[in-house]
């Protein structure tokens, strides 16, 4: 292999880390760059004894051998990886990345479940509302009817299931009108007189505004 090809091969395999100059100083590789004028590869390195000193040298020169007392020695001899590239730090970074991945996966799953649940609620809540409306206007004697008792039981089951999934019904009648959770269909004032359509929250976020009449 020619000397030129050997140098090119070495340049490709240059390690990032700490190097010792043949005169004794130690330096940390910061980056590899190119000269904008001639595209020559350069090495940017920092003096570990005085970190304010940043140097730039042609990569070919950085990696070449020099004659010291008749012997060929590397101008800069590789000593070790950067402290932040140690096995322990690599492990900690990998662990942190893994934990971040788990958190992101959990967040993505929660978002998916929440989205799927929202779509499901758009279909099921009207059924729940119609069941509640079926009891409106009943006389006192009607409430003793077995059929009515059955509907009330089903409504209770509905409510328990919805609450177990973080779904709560927005309180309206007698409450102060809230622009964040309600939509006024008629009337003037700040107090809710009548609820036309129930509103709901999913884990504190409004998924359907309550439609009300105010006074």
DSSP for 59-109, please give it: HHHHHSEEEETTEEEESEEEEE--GGGSHHHHHHHHHHHHHHHHHHHHHHH
Mean per-residue pLDDT over the chain, rounded: 83
CB 34 within 8 A of CB 41: yes
The pLDDT of residue 91 is 64
Taking alpha carbons only, the member of 148, 114, 119, 122 closest to residue 134 is 148
Res 11 pLDDT > 60: no
Res 193 pLDDT > 90: yes
- Helix, coil or strand: residue 134: coil
Q: Quote the distance between the C-alpha of residue 122 and its chain's center.
A: 27
Q: How many CA atoms lie less than 13 Å away from 118 in the CB half-sphere? A: 14
pLDDT band at 9 (very low <50, low <70, confident <90, very high): very low
Query: Hey, what domains does the chain have and what are their CATH numbers?
Result: 3-82 (2.30.30.320), 166-215 (2.30.22.10)
In this structure, what DSSP letter does residue 24 have? S
Q: For the whole model, what pTM was predicted?
A: 0.43
Model pLDDT for residues 90-115, shown as the tens digit of each residue = 666 677 777 888 888 877 777 766 66
Res 58 pLDDT > 90: yes
């Amino acid at each position: 292999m020619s000397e030129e090809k050997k140098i090119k091969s070495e340049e490709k395999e240059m390690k990032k880390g700490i190097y010792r100059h043949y005169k004794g100083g130690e330096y940390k590789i910061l980056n590899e760059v190119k000269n904008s004028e001639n595209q020559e590869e350069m090495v940017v390195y920092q003096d570990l004894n005085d970190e304010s000193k940043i140097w730039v040298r042609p990569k070919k020169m950085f990696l070449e051998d020099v004659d010291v007392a008749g012997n060929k020695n590397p101008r800069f001899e590789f000593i070790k990886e950067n402290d932040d590239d140690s096995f322990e730090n690599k492990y900690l970074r990998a662990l942190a990345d893994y934990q971040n991945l788990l958190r992101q996966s959990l967040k993505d799953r929660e978002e998916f479940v929440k989205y799927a649940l929202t779509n499901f609620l758009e279909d099921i809540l009207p059924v729940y509302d119609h069941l509640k409306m079926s009891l409106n206007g009943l006389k006192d004697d009607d409430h003793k009817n077995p059929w009515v008792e059955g509907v009330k039981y089903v409504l209770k089951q509905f409510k328990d299931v919805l609450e177990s999934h973080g779904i709560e019904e927005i309180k309206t009648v007698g409450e102060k009108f809230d622009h964040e959770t309600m939509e006024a269909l008629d009337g003037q004032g700040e107090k809710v007189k009548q609820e036309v359509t129930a509103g709901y929250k999913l884990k504190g976020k409004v998924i359907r505004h309550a439609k009300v009449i105010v006074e």
